[in-house]
Every structure is written in structure tokens, then in C-alpha cells.
Structure 1
Amino acid sequence: MVLTDTGQATARSVRGMSLESRRCEAHDDLASDPGRELDPSTSQSLLQAEAQDEPPGPSKPLQSSPPPDPTSFVTWGICWRHPVLLLCLFAGSLLVAMGHHMFYQSLHQKPVDSTIQQVWAIRIGTGLAFVYKSGLVAILSMVNTQQIWVTLRRKFITLQGIDNMFMLMNDPTALFNRHLWARAKTLILLACVAWLVPLIAIITPATLSVKASVKPQVMPSSVATVDLANATSWGTFAGAGRVERAGSEISRLFHTVASSGSYLPSSAPFPNASYDLSFWAPSYKCVNLSEAVAQSNSLTPSASYNYSTLQSGWDAEMKPVNGQSYAAVAPGFKSNALFIWSGPAAYVNSMNDRPVYANAELVCQLYNTSYEVNMRFDNGIQSITPRSIRYLHLQDWDEGTGSNSALDKKPAIAASYITYLLFQDFLVGKLTIGVSGGLSVTGTSLMKTGLAGCAEIKDTVTTSQGILGFNPGICRNKTLGRAIEDLSSNFTYSLMAAAYNLGRSNTTVPVTISAPRNFYSYDKSTLLTAYLASLSVVLLWMGIGAFALWSNGITSNTSFSAILLTTRNADLDALAQGHCLGADPLPDEIAGVKLRFGRLTRGEPASHAGFGVRGTVTAVEKGDKLL
């Protein structure tokens, strides 16, 4: 019995040594010629020798898990998780692209309020582009895996080429394997696309930029306006507080406006801004005598003035004087009114004591006036455009009411009365041409202002010697009446001047700001083109991947278990002799060995599938019975 057991053990040992020696011979042949493939008869004999090896007996050690059932076959079928994950990745990438577009669109033409806001806009855009890129690369990697196994089933690839196939998605040097360019063009093209996809993470975030431009922006701001609340302090006072005359500060303001021919600028809320402003103030309106008579000619006689009509009052107040070319009076019988006459040096008609010819006969009266103006600042330079100036009604007060306005704490009447005193002091007086042609100025200050250029004045004071010459361009609005009204409006506007603290206060209004600012600018076409192009390319590759998945008949991967289960081949065991560590780089003596995944030919109706050399494998068809 002992001899029998010893003989059996010796036989097993001899058979094992014989099999091992034959494997070594096959390995030596492969090592001496890397391009050589095993002879089919040699491979078959090796397989048969392995098949004849003794099955496990009682003397063999127990395995950690039971051996597989030798009659069980592989299961064909595609796991649902792979296509679902593929579709989810594509849908997620599409949603990220849409979100990126909508986020940038929401910022387009919006002002950049702070550096932090700009930084976070860039961070969010870059993050969305990175997530999008990651999704596409993941899709292409999954397609690449299926395409690898399709290629390995159809073609013999060198061992080094197979290594590079598995490294295409993470090692760019694998693209330079010449064998893959000849045998796996689809994989090379797919890998090139995968390596170019990350460029999207550079292109799309850069479609949002910041540009400086001048664009209107409405912002509530505090601006100067006309406020007559402190008008009771504009005058100088006598007695118990009666207004005697206009104060020095308001007088300086008035004469500055009159001599400059324009308003004094107010403070600009912003260098480039515009806004509408509404306020009221007393203003003078001038009409021809005939128009004033037609409007209201009747008067109520008083103890001091026994005039029943405006015309009779005019005739009494405006007494002609020989040589007189201009005269202005403040009639006591009509509060706040000014009578102005101008014409050639007067020739008196003895029949009615009136000049036979006049250039102007004006009645100027003070009105409560509503102003609606547009204030505009261009680089800090102010311009005022009246939108509406409405003369509401005549001022209704007498001399006593006006002089006591400060005492009675009536700022509106005080503003009107002091305005009347200013215009009275400025306009009332006479211009007379002497017999020698010289000009005599009595009272009035208008010859020191642009009003002297108005035709009603200029044409009447020009002497035969031509010593006086006035540019008509300095008369605003061309006529004397319009020029007086313009002076009144400019005086009102100047109450808002920052240099004076008179009728100025602040109010909050919507201000349109046109200052240069930084705005987001979104290049929509570039972002959408990049995303649509990449999605279209990836969708095409998904179709190729779906076809590869269908061709494989199973869901393949590149995990360790997949490599373990597909490399069970005695020929590969012989090939691995002396190289079991799997060190990189691959030794030259085995790098050129060509392998293919298929059915390992052993002569049985149902055989094992795995990698094998030429002559030992045949094509695997979907649905084949494989152990």
C-alpha cells in the first residue's frame, strides 16, 4: 500500500515536472522571439496536459471558497446601471451648461458693485465649467472602456499596445503608440477628444468679462433745490423789523447773475448726471402795454392815485422828456409792477404829451411761478433746460405787506418783495442822449449787463459818432422783455448756488447717473457654441459606446477582477515567467507578443474565454456557451 502511494506520488511529480518543462520550453521560445506566437499544436498539447492533471484529493489543502461548478456557464446581459449612469451624466452636464448660461445671462449688463462680487462670479462660473467638463470626461471614459473590449475581441494587439489602450484616458504618452494608430484608430480619436474636452473649462468661464462703459443708472440722490423758507433774512431791516432794502448777500448774487448773463452753478451730485426738479418762486413776466391793457385795464382809484385805467396810469407815470431813450418806473398804484419804455431820443407830440414813436412799451409784473426743469451735469458743468415755466397768478400784496413780511414771518411774501426791490433797483432809471450826443445814465444798472445789447436799448443809444457799440449776441432771447424774464429765471436758479446760503435746501430725487462704471459683459455666442459643440460630440460618442455595449453583450470594465477573470490561460502563465511583478516599463522580450480576447480553443463544445496568442483563440460571439 505504501509502495502504491509512493508510486502514485512519483507519477504525479513526473507529470508535473514534464508539464512544467514543456511550459518552460514554450516560454523560452517566446522570449527568444517576442513576435512569435505559440504553435497551435503546442498550445493544444499544453492545454491537454493541464486537463489530464490530477484532480484535487484528500491530501490537497482546503480552499478558502468552494470551487465553481464546472457545468455553469457565463451569463450574457447588459447591467442597467451602466446606460442609466451614462444618461444621467449627460443630462446632468446639460443642466450644468444651462445653469452656467442662465447665471452669466443674469449678470449681463449689471454693474460690478464690488471686487468680492466679481471674484465670486468668476469662481461660480469656473466651478460650473469644471463640473461640466468632469461629466463629459466621465462619459467618454465609460465609452472608452466598452470600445477597448470591442477592439480586443476583433483584433490582435501587442501586449504593449494593450497596456497603452488601458492608459489612454490618463496618460497622454499612450497616444504615441504607433501600433494603436494602426489597429485602434477609434480609440485614439476618442482619447484625443477626451484630452481636448477640458479646454471647455478655460473657454466658457472667460465668456464673462468686465467692461467700463457709460450707461445711465437711476439712483435716488440728494440734490439742491429752491427753498424760500429763509427768505425773511434776505433784507436789511429798519425800525421794529421792517424790510428796508435787499441785503448785501442777495444783492451780490443778483448783480453777479445780471452781469454774467447766466445762472450760478449748483453742486453736482455726480460729475455726469441729470435729473428733473420742480419748485416754485416769484418771477417777472413782461408784456406789451397794449396786451396788459387788454387783459386788465380797469383800476380802482385811491386817495394817492386817481387812475381809473392802466392806460391812464401809464400816461401819468411815463412823462416824456426830450432826448430820453429809456425810462423805467415802479408805479406806486400797481404793486410790484415795472413800466419800461424805450425809443429814439423823444420828440414830444404837443397834442397828447406822448412820444410819437417807441421801440418798446413794457409792463413787467411779478407772478407766483411754477418751474419744472431738467438739471444736467457733463463732467461737472451744469446746464438747465426748462421743461415748463407756468405763471400761475399775480402777486397780491401792497408796499406795507411786503415791508412787514419778515416781521409777520411770511417768507413767501418776503422773497417776492425783495425780488421786486432788486429788479426795481436794477431797472428803474433813465437813459438820455444829450445835445452833444453823449449818453447820460440815471439810476439804472442795465448798461453794465447784457441787456444793453437788446435792440430796444442798443438802437436807441447809438450816437451819430458811433462811440457806443453793443454786441446783440449778449442780449439773451433777443428782446428786452424776454431778456428780463430770462434774468428773473436765472436769478431763481442761482438761489441753489453752492457759493451762497440763501434759497437753497436739499431734496431727494431720482438722478440718472452717466458716469463710467464697470459692467459685466457676457459673450453668449461663445459659451453656447462651446457647450453645444461639446455636447454634440459627446452625444455622437455615446452612440458609438451604445453600439459597443450592444456588440459586447455585457457591461465591461477595466477593474482588477475583469483582468483576473480574462487572463486565465496557461499560455499567459508561461509568458509571465520571470515577469510576475508587473514592473514598468514592460520588458522588450514580451512587449511585442500579440494577444486577443476570445474563445480559448481546447476542442470542447463549451470552453473558457480569455486572452490568448494567435492560434489559441477564436472569436467570441454574443450568446456563446462559455465556462
Structure 2
Amino acid sequence: MDLDSQLTTTVQGSGDGTQLGICFIYFIFGFACAIGHHAFYASLNGKPANDQFLMLRYGTVLAFASKAGLSVAVIVAFQQRVWTTVRRRVMSIAALDSLFAATEDLIALLNWELFRTRGSPSSSPSLIDQLFEIPASLWNTTKPEGADPPEGWFDYYTAPSPSFQRTATIGAFLEQAVMRKNAQVETCGSGWNCTFEINFTAPAYKCTELASGVGSKPVNLTQESGGSIAAPFDTDILLPKGKYSYYAFTSGGEYSTTQMKDVGIGGKPISDPPYPKNFGALRTEPVVWIGYSNIADPSKPVPQNPSDPGWDTAFIPSLFACENYESHYVVTFNYTDAMQSTKVTNLTFLRPVVNTTYLPHIDADDGTADNVTANPESNYIFPQDVARYRRTAAYHSLGFMLRYFLNGTIEMEDRSLVNPVANTNAIQTKLIDPKSNYFPRPGLAGLVQNFYEEIIMSMLGNPQFVAVVWAAKPDQQSGGGKTFLPFDEDEELETAHGDDGDADEDDGERFLYPCTKSRTANMYHYNVRDLWIVYTIAILMSLVGVVFGAMAISAEEGGKVRDTLFSSIVAATRGPALDKVRWEKHDGSFLVGDDGNDGGSVHVAEDVKKLRAGYGLLARGEGFGSSVIGLSASSASSLRQSIKRGGYYYGFGLEGDVQQIRVRRGSTVF
């Protein structure tokens, strides 16, 4: 085979379709990497952001692998479009420069001649490849027992225990429920926040408004026992008519800590049994009576003297009464950042702690030192009813501490607001606002109920209290010396064994209680939509480029595959067809780099770049004279024979010297 026929074979390609198969393999590879990228991010979604840099690298590798696969598929397809275009159209040398450089230089696509010609689809695959690089890099992204007492002896209530008095006092000063030390770690686990809901039975104060407004008369309080009791005072003692901004009477019917006159240490009677019938009996639970005045309009200046205009309308007196009820609580506990918060989500009043009505000014005269009389006497709770008596005594102690803080007055001396005189422990609580001249806060009845709830919640801060039990096992006390450590994520239960060493995992699991655990942490978040917007655009555009390449091979080129290797370009440009172009300067020197170095970039003159050239058949002698010639089938056959004999060769030539052909079904058009 002579040199010309070798050049022809080199340029035309083999036609075996191998590169077309490789083109689709690269496209499938890029698509598979995109699916892998999605699956990898989906596996991280919602998990703690551990090893962020490593995961980012994995995602980057998948993204660039997808980009590489789709890009190579487009480049292979583009090579075929390049040859299709130059075989069909005669273009300026500048346009040919842009066409062959498009896969490496995005600026090359700005040559308008590429888009003006009917061969413009040749630029599309390259444009797809250049645009794909931007989004692929941009979107890579994550809880005294002993012998029975002698006959006729019994225990009876005396007063709240010092431990509880201390707990209630701390809660009042803190203005919130007392939290157990290390409660969050023991309940939630180290580093975790948690929320849980518990329900239990405890006392609660049920408050009823009896009067509101200047000159209003309080109605009687009707009790569940069937009795009715009048308020011990009315609103006339409150501002603006009276001199008190706060007046609380909480001791009516209070249990006497001295039940007998002659007693020894600890209240033990000196005399022998039998004792009076009502000795130690819980006869009634004192009603809390509170009257208070609020400033009608805090935004306006408050009159400082009764003689000032607007004094009579500057204050709103109110009066309410609260009764101690046994109630059912539903409470939500939250531990966040070592802080505890509680919220009573549901409160149901069940029954009065002692269902009687206090009868003031009536002496008991029953042989005891307790001069309280209430009706009906059949509802008294006696020490001999041990379980009921002890529960009621505990409720009474809780109420006693509330009443201790509430009882007393705040008086405006000489009816002037400049020097309030407090005779109550209420100023140590959140019920009184020191910033507002020690006036009670608005909505005092609700605040009293909430204050009582916080005292009760404070008990839960000390599991040693007898009344505190396990949430999961209400029949077992929590302060028995057995401690169960909280679960950590994916860890087995740990238990702290007592001296007997009998605790085990099964024992600990019985005390587990449902809770919602959380912690502040960086989490992986996979935005599926954003990633697939990028990949969908890239994959579709890449697919379009591959389809154009396949069309160039199968439909336009008869299955011939070409490339843009250096040897192919050299083979297509050798020969006398381009010798007529003056590639050197007018003085005969070559156009080399501006620095005079032969290794510099060659600059072709602008007038040369305007010459129009194309790829096709060239005659070894004179040119064809026209780039489009119609031949009959016999003439085409003769031409093929001439090509084989060496009369014509394939290559680049100037317009008028090159004959461009297209293969159509049933005919050949030149």
C-alpha cells in the first residue's frame, strides 16, 4: 500500500465500532458513580457528622469519577462531530482552530461561526463537557420496723421534717424546682439531653376567685364537704380603699403541733392510754385566703397619695381562696445543658385532702390541746388508719410549707406607696415583684398554684424521701441504695451493685423508663433535590452529546470512527493542497513567539485565519474548482477506483480545492 492510501486509511478509521462502545461504557460508568454518590450520601443522612473531612473526600472522589466518566463519553462523541463538521462544511481556519480546541478551552466556543453553520451541533458535546465541571465541583458536600408497739400506742403527726423544710425553702429561693445533683447525667447519660413524662398523685391547690374590683363583696366558698365558709376579710382592706397591697390568711384550722399539754420529748404523752378520741386527728386542711391589689395600668404613672387624682381607679383589688386537693399530675421533665425544667401538662383534682369545713370560733373541748373544730367530724383522719393517715400527713406538710411562705401582709405605710412594709415570707418568692414596689405579680392565683407545684417537684430532687418512687416501678422506693446508670447509645446497661452484689442487667432493665434523648451535634443532612438537579442536567446533556456522536458514526460516516490524535491531524494536513498558503511573514521569517524563542507559541496572521478550508477529497493535480459536485453512480464508482489508484487523497484543503462527500442510502452526493 502506498503512502497516500495509508493516509486515507489512517484518517478514515477502522469502522469496527470499538470507540462507540467505549463511549457508552464511559457514560454508564459516570451514571453509576452518580448513583453511588447518591447512595453514599443517603447512608450518611441523619447520622452524627463524624469524620467529616474523610466523608467529604469520599463524596468528592465519587463526584469527580462521575464527572470524568461523563466527560470522556462526551469528548469521544465530540471527536466524531468534529470530523462530521469539517467533512460537510468549509469553515475559516479560525473556526477550525476553535472547533479542535473546544474540549480544552471554553473560550473557543465563543466563535460565532461554529453556531452559524449547519454543523453547529458539533459544539454542543464540548459545551456540555465544559459546563459539567462547574456543578460537579460545586455540589460536593452531613434515666421503726421492729416489734409491734404496745396496745393503745400509735404514731401521730407533729410537723414537717427538717429535710423537707430545707428542700422547700431552697425551691422557693431558687424560684424553680430543685434539681438533684448530676440529675442529667444519671437520667439521660453523659452528653445527652432528654425529655420524659411522668404521672403521679400529689396534692395541688385549687384556687377560686371570690371577688374582684373596688367595692366588690366576696362570695362564700362552697366546699365539697357540703359546707360554706365566708372569707375572713373583704376587699376594703386592700388598695385603693385600704392600705394593703397583699393580705394572706392561711392559718385558720391549722393542725396544732401540741396535741396534749403534758408531753415529753418528741411529743410523747406523759400519761398512759387511753387518750382522747381526736388525739392526733387531722381534722381539716386550712384554706388559703389571699387578697391583693394590682396596678390597673402599669404604663401610666401610679398616684403616690390617696389625695392624688386617679387614686381610686389606679388599683384593682381581688380576693381568692385555695383548697388543698389530692390530685393527679402529668408532668414533663426536660434536661437540657445541665438545666432542669418542668411543666405540668395535665392536672386533675380528685378529692380534698381532708374533706371537712372549718368552723371558726367554735371550741373543740375534746380533751386535746388542738382547739380546731370542723364538720363533719366523721371525715376526720385518725392515726389508727395508718396508711391513709400518713399519706394525708405528708400532703398536709407540703401544704404547710406553702402556707408558711404565703401567710402575712404587705402594707403601704400611711397609705403611701414609697415605703411598703412587709410582714410575710412571700417577698422571698416569685409571687412578689420587687421591681414594682413589692406589689404582687398579676395572675397571683395561678402563680400560687405553680409555686406549690414547684415545691412538690423539688421533692423529686431527693430520692431519699419515702414518697419518691421509681417511675417504672411505682411500688418501689427510689432511695433504697440501688443505683442504675443510664444507657448510652449502642451500649449495654450498666448497673452499680450494692454490697450484696445481687443486681444484674435483668434487674436494671425493669427500672428503665421511656424518654426522648437528644443532644446538640452536627448531623449529616442530605439534600437530595440539589444533588440530583446537578446530576440530572449533566447526565441528560452528556447523553445528548453521546447520541450526537453515535449519529455521526452510524448515520453520517457509515460506521467509521475517527479521532483527533496528533498523527491523524498530521495525516489530514500533509500534501500540496495547503502549500499555497503563506504561513510565514513577508520577509520570509517564521511567525514565532513574541520573545523570539522558537519554542514559543506560533501566531498565525489574521488574514490567514480568514481563509476558508474543509476536509474531503483532493486531486493530485488541479483542484476540483467547486466544493459540491453531483456525480452519477457510475461516476462515483470511477472516482473510487481513481482514489485507489492514487489520483485523489483525503485531506484538508482550501475552498475550491476540496471535494466534500456525504454517504446517503442509495446514492453518493459530492
Amino acid at match of 1:98: I
Are 1:338 and 2:282 an aligned pair?
yes
Are 1:375 and 2:333 an aligned pair?
yes
- For 2:608 and 2:175, the matched residues in 1 are separated by 102
| Superposition map of 1:507-518 within 5 A | 508=486, 509-512=513-516, 517-518=521-522
**Residues 288, 71 of structure 1: CA spacing in aligned structure 2 closer, same or farther, 3 A cutoff?**
closer
Report how far residue 105 of structure 1 moved: 4.2
Match of 2:404 among 448, 451, 464: 448
- For 2:37 and 2:398, the matched residues in 1 are separated by 72
Are 1:126 and 2:60 an aligned pair?
yes
Structure 1 contact 288–363 (Cα < 8 Å) conserved = no
**Residues 422, 388 of structure 1: CA spacing in aligned structure 2 closer, same or farther, 3 A cutoff?**
closer
Report how far residue 185 of structure 1 moved: 3.7
Report how far residue 622 of structure 1 moved: 3.7
**Structure 2 portions without partners, runs of 5+:** 147-155, 185-190, 207-221, 227-250, 260-274, 288-320, 354-380, 410-421, 427-439, 469-477, 487-512, 585-589, 592-597, 621-637
1:249 aligns with 163
Are 1:551 and 2:556 an aligned pair?
yes
**Residues 69, 613 of structure 1: CA spacing in aligned structure 2 closer, same or farther, 3 A cutoff?**
closer
1:61 aligns with none
- For 2:224 and 2:612, the matched residues in 1 are separated by 119
Report how far residue 551 of structure 1 moved: 0.7
Measured against aligned partners, the alpha-carbon deviations of 1:460-508 in whole angstroms (never above 9, x if no partner) come to xxxxxxx999999766799xxxx8x996x76553223379999676664
Match of 1:326 among 253, 256, 279: 253
Structure 1 contact 261–476 (Cα < 8 Å) conserved = no
Structure 1 contact 338–424 (Cα < 8 Å) conserved = no
Report how far residue 167 of structure 1 moved: 1.6
Report how far residue 130 of structure 1 moved: 2.2
Report how far residue 146 of structure 1 moved: 0.8
Measured against aligned partners, the alpha-carbon deviations of 1:540-595 in whole angstroms (never above 9, x if no partner) come to 23332222113122001012342344345344577699879998415438655544
Match of 1:613 among 627, 641, 653: 653
| Superposition map of 1:38-437 within 5 A | 78-108=15-45, 110=46, 112-114=48-50, 116-117=51-52, 119-175=53-109, 180=114, 185-205=120-140, 222=143, 248-254=162-168, 263-266=177-180, 269=184, 273-277=194-198, 326=253, 328=255, 338-340=282-284, 373-376=331-334, 380=339, 382-385=341-344, 420=393, 423=396
- For 2:543 and 2:195, the matched residues in 1 are separated by 54
**Residues 128, 531 of structure 1: CA spacing in aligned structure 2 closer, same or farther, 3 A cutoff?**
same
- For 1:569 and 1:173, the matched residues in 2 are separated by 31
**Structure 1 portions without partners, runs of 5+:** 1-65, 211-221, 223-229, 233-241, 292-323, 344-359, 403-412, 428-444, 454-466
Measured against aligned partners, the alpha-carbon deviations of 1:139-159 in whole angstroms (never above 9, x if no partner) come to 221222111111221223344
- For 2:6 and 2:561, the matched residues in 1 are separated by 23
1:596 aligns with 614
Amino acid at match of 1:552: E
Question: What TM-score does the superposition give when structure 2 sets the normalisation length?
Answer: 0.48
Are 1:566 and 2:572 an aligned pair?
yes
Structure 2 contact 95–114 (Cα < 8 Å) conserved = yes
Q: Alpha carbon RMSD of aligned pairs, Å?
A: 6.0
**Residues 618, 583 of structure 1: CA spacing in aligned structure 2 closer, same or farther, 3 A cutoff?**
farther
**Residues 426, 256 of structure 1: CA spacing in aligned structure 2 closer, same or farther, 3 A cutoff?**
farther
Structure 1 contact 76–622 (Cα < 8 Å) conserved = no
Amino acid at match of 2:556: S
Report how far residue 69 of structure 1 moved: 12
Report how far residue 337 of structure 1 moved: 5.5
- For 2:328 and 2:522, the matched residues in 1 are separated by 39
Match of 1:493 among 430, 448, 457: 457
Structure 2 contact 204–349 (Cα < 8 Å) conserved = no
**Residues 493, 381 of structure 1: CA spacing in aligned structure 2 closer, same or farther, 3 A cutoff?**
closer
Report how far residue 513 of structure 1 moved: 5.3
**Residues 155, 561 of structure 1: CA spacing in aligned structure 2 closer, same or farther, 3 A cutoff?**
same
**Residues 257, 547 of structure 1: CA spacing in aligned structure 2 closer, same or farther, 3 A cutoff?**
closer
Q: Which deviates the most, 495-504 or 531-540?
A: 495-504
Secondary structure of the equivalent of 2:16?
coil
Structure 1 contact 259–450 (Cα < 8 Å) conserved = no
Structure 2 contact 82–99 (Cα < 8 Å) conserved = yes
Amino acid at match of 1:253: T
Structure 1 contact 567–610 (Cα < 8 Å) conserved = no
**Residues 243, 584 of structure 1: CA spacing in aligned structure 2 closer, same or farther, 3 A cutoff?**
same
Are 1:525 and 2:562 an aligned pair?
no
Measured against aligned partners, the alpha-carbon deviations of 1:42-66 in whole angstroms (never above 9, x if no partner) come to xxxxxxxxxxxxxxxxxxxxxxxx8
**Residues 577, 113 of structure 1: CA spacing in aligned structure 2 closer, same or farther, 3 A cutoff?**
closer
**Residues 68, 372 of structure 1: CA spacing in aligned structure 2 closer, same or farther, 3 A cutoff?**
same
- For 2:3 and 2:545, the matched residues in 1 are separated by 38
Amino acid at match of 1:558: T
Structure possessing the higher radius of gyration over alpha carbons: 1
**Residues 486, 557 of structure 1: CA spacing in aligned structure 2 closer, same or farther, 3 A cutoff?**
closer
Amino acid at match of 2:563: N
**Residues 388, 92 of structure 1: CA spacing in aligned structure 2 closer, same or farther, 3 A cutoff?**
farther
Report how far residue 168 of structure 1 moved: 1.7
How many residue pairs get matched?
Answer: 428
**Residues 468, 526 of structure 1: CA spacing in aligned structure 2 closer, same or farther, 3 A cutoff?**
closer
**Identical aligned residues as a percent:** 18
Amino acid at match of 1:142: V
- For 1:521 and 1:452, the matched residues in 2 are separated by 58
Report how far residue 200 of structure 1 moved: 1.4
Structure 1 contact 204–527 (Cα < 8 Å) conserved = yes
Measured against aligned partners, the alpha-carbon deviations of 1:16-36 in whole angstroms (never above 9, x if no partner) come to xxxxxxxxxxxxxxxxxxxxx
Amino acid at match of 1:543: V
Report how far residue 524 of structure 1 moved: 3.5
| Superposition map of 1:537-548 within 5 A | 537-548=541-552
**Residues 535, 400 of structure 1: CA spacing in aligned structure 2 closer, same or farther, 3 A cutoff?**
same
Report how far residue 196 of structure 1 moved: 1.9
- For 1:134 and 1:576, the matched residues in 2 are separated by 41
Question: What TM-score does the superposition give when structure 1 sets the normalisation length?
Answer: 0.51
Amino acid at match of 1:99: G
Report how far residue 85 of structure 1 moved: 2.0
- For 1:390 and 1:342, the matched residues in 2 are separated by 17
2:489 aligns with none
Report how far residue 531 of structure 1 moved: 2.3
**Residues 616, 422 of structure 1: CA spacing in aligned structure 2 closer, same or farther, 3 A cutoff?**
closer
**Residues 557, 424 of structure 1: CA spacing in aligned structure 2 closer, same or farther, 3 A cutoff?**
closer
- For 2:658 and 2:406, the matched residues in 1 are separated by 112
Amino acid at match of 2:404: K
Measured against aligned partners, the alpha-carbon deviations of 1:266-294 in whole angstroms (never above 9, x if no partner) come to 466389752124678x8799998969xxx
- For 2:398 and 2:6, the matched residues in 1 are separated by 127
Greater RCO between the two (CA within 8 Å, min separation 6)? Answer: 1
- For 1:525 and 1:112, the matched residues in 2 are separated by 21
